[in-house]
């Protein structure tokens, strides 16, 4: 019994690390694009009172103002994601999708 529980915890850590890694990859891509002054991903964030800005609901959780902002969010996000994915009673995928979508609507 304890072995399957540990496997579940291991999967929760791996899934959480993958999600946080995606955030770092997006931030790295944004920094590279800004360095070339061609484009910035920040424009994909939520733009209030515009139809085009609605796409930001999908992208805004991935975007951060700076590397420091991302670093400040990464550890708490990782810990909370591990807890979410570890306890399957909360339907982790549905919970994460709901938080992602409804937090964007609230902005």
Model confidence pLDDT, tens digit, residues 3-27:
545 568 999 999 999 999 998 998 8
Average model confidence (pLDDT) for the chain? 80
* Highest-confidence segment of 30-34, 67-71, 87-91: 67-71
Under 8 Å CB-to-CB from 77, ≥6 apart: which residues?
19, 20, 23
- Which helix (H) or strand (E) segment is 29 a member of? helix 2-35
Residue 87 dihedral angles phi and psi, to the nearest 5°: -100, 100
33 has pLDDT over 80: no
In whole angstroms, give the CA distance from residue 41 to residue 28.
11
The boundaries of the domain holding residue 90 are 2-106
Domain count, the chain: 1
pLDDT of residue 73: 87
| 3-class state of residue 80 by DSSP | helix
- Total-model pTM: 0.77
Q: What is the mean pLDDT of residues 70-92?
A: 89
């Amino acid at each position: 019994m304890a072995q399957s529980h540990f496997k579940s915890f291991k999967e929760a850590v791996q899934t959480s690390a993958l999600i946080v890694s995606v955030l770092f990859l997006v931030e790295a891509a944004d920094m590279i694009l800004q360095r070339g002054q061609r484009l910035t991903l920040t424009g994909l964030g939520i733009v209030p009172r515009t139809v085009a800005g609605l796409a930001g609901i999908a992208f805004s959780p991935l975007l951060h103002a700076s590397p420091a902002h991302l670093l400040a969010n990464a550890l708490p996000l990782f810990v909370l994601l591990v807890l979410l994915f570890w306890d399957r009673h909360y339907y982790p995928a549905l919970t994460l999708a709901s938080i992602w979508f409804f937090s964007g609507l609230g902005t």
